[in-house]
A and B are shown apart, each in its own frame.
Chain A
Amino acid sequence: QSALTQPRSVSGSPGQSVTISCTGTSSDVGGYNYVSWYQQHPGKAPKLMFSDVAKRPSGVPDRFSGSKSGNTASLTISGLQAEDEADYYCCSYAGSYTLVFGGGTKLTVL
């Protein structure tokens, strides 16, 4: 049950694109297509951004996209906007009805 690895911070200017990686193992990210992503603004509850690697819930802008290759999942945000500044967490199913989160990435919009 080791945490997934995410960069501690990423940044970009408005209009640019950024990608946040989430690296696990064959026992979690690489073993299942059950990676989800959450956005958390300060003092707020997390918000689901993606389920099952790349399924975007209604209401999430299509500027956001999710993908996975091997043991690494990625969240890409294109056309950065000021309101995208937040913490982002990946989460993966890890077998036997357990889950593991990444350490979180702070996105700064310059």
Chain B
Amino acid sequence: EVQLVESGGDLVQPGGSLTLSCAASGFTFSNYWMTWVRQAPGKGLEWVANIKQDGSEKYYVDSVKGRFTISRDNAKNSLFLQMSSLRAEDTAVYYCSRGVPTGVDYFDYWGQGALVTVSS
């Protein structure tokens, strides 16, 4: 059974940093693109970042470029999102999701989400 379990969500002050983790199981993690998607309270979904199977390619939504870094550790079946210079508008539930081997056309499995609150 495919499982994605996020952790690391917390309350952080504006300008602060936080790293989210996603533990994957039930599939060959190194065969898939992986993605972070976020959802602000009461709002819609927003794609945040993608990473290729070997970590050689990473892509970001404009609003987080230069502040967020997506990475992965295939040996530990883990996906990460390092967030810095956090702003109030980054407050959201962050979902880890699985892409497909050929790219990121769609996301077939999602974690339960990790809540990040940016507030003083």
Contacts and interface: CB of A to CB of B under 8 A. Distances in A.
- The size class of the interface chain B forms with chain A is 20 to 34
A3 B45 CA distance: 10
Contact of A91 (B45, B62, B103): B45
Interface residues of A, number: 25
B107 to A, nearest CB: 6
Contacts, number: 64
B59 A98 contact: yes
A91 B35 CA distance: 13
Given A57-B108, A91-B106, A101 B47 contact: yes
Contacts of B59: 96-98
Interface stretch (B16-24, B82-90, B109-117): B109-117
Interface of B: 35, 37, 44-47, 50, 57, 59, 61-62, 95, 103-108, 110-113
Interface of A: 1, 3, 34, 36, 38, 40, 45-48, 51-52, 57, 89, 91, 93, 96-104
